[in-house]
């Protein structure tokens, strides 16, 4: 039986300039893919940081989760509010779902820790100085903390950075479990009793005239 001879056909690029162009195009594609992956990772880290910091603030302040650990909607004695967090002064809110008041935490990294400055704001005051932005079918209010004149500084909290640094959904889930396992003693070392009392008072007084919080002096 005669066996057919199979010859592999190979396309040879004889033009070196053309070869160089192909390699350069591939390199640019790889760079673009790498950049997109980095943006995706950075976005996931930022999103996870907001959720994890919100959970830390909930636990430390004694608030309960309204929609679970992964959502910053919280409640104190049945009064719903949302924790908002950012590493700057700019943020946005959904006035239809955030309740009448919100607790805002602006943070900065200091070594292996995160220092959080905690403020109390009303949604009504945010409406006065913010601008309406539309995202798909949802309207949000975008604003800067600096423009809210009747904000109340409620105090400080300091959390270990490792609790808010997650590079994947799996890492975030693991950190949520660690945060939910923190003892009252451990939480008290992260947020002072006075800051905790001020958050509680601000939320509970949200339907009445807000009482000025006790002054918290940062050590």
Instruction: Give the number of other Cβ atoms within 10 Å of residue 57's Cβ.
Output: 25
Mean pLDDT of the chain: 83
* Phi, psi dihedral angles at 171 (to 5 degrees): -65, -40
Distance CA 10, CA 156 (A): 68
pLDDT band at 38 (very low <50, low <70, confident <90, very high): very low
Q: Is the pLDDT of residue 190 over 90?
A: yes
If one compares 169 and 16, the residue with the highest pLDDT of the two is 169
* Phi, psi dihedral angles at 32 (to 5 degrees): -65, -40
* Predicted pLDDT of residue 212: 44
Q: What is the pLDDT of residues 78-109, one digit of tens each?
A: 999 999 999 888 889 988 888 899 999 999 99
Express as a percent the part of the chain with pLDDT over 90. Answer: 59
Average pLDDT in the 26-34 region?
52
Q: What is the pLDDT of residues 146-172, one digit of tens each?
A: 999 889 999 999 999 999 999 999 999
Render 178-204 in DSSP notation, one character per residue. Answer: HHHT--HHHHHTTB-HHHHHHHHHHHH
Entry pTM: 0.74
Average pLDDT in the 119-137 region?
90
Q: Is the pLDDT of residue 209 over 90?
A: no
């Amino acid at each position: 039986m005669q066996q057919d001879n199979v010859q592999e056909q190979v396309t040879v690029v004889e033009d070196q300039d053309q070869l160089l162009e192909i390699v350069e195009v591939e390199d640019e594609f790889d760079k673009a893919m790498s950049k997109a992956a980095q943006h995706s990772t950075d976005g996931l880290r930022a999103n996870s940081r907001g959720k994890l910091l919100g959970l830390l603030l909930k636990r430390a302040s004694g608030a309960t989760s309204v929609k679970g650990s992964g959502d910053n909607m919280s409640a104190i004695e049945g009064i719903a509010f949302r924790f908002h967090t950012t590493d700057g002064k700019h943020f946005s809110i959904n006035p239809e779902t955030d309740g009448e008041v919100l607790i805002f935490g602006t943070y900065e990294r200091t070594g292996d820790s995160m220092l959080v400055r905690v403020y109390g704001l009303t949604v009504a005051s945010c409406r006065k100085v913010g601008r309406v932005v539309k995202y798909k079918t949802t309207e949000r209010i975008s604003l800067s903390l600096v423009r809210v004149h009747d904000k109340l500084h409620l105090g400080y909290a300091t959390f270990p950075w490792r609790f808010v640094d997650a590079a994947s959904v799996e890492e975030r889930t693991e950190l949520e479990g660690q945060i939910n396992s923190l003892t009252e003693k451990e939480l008290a070392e992260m947020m002072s009793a006075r800051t905790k009392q001020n958050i509680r008072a601000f939320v509970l007084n949200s339907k009445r005239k807000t009482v000025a919080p006790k002054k918290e002096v940062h050590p």
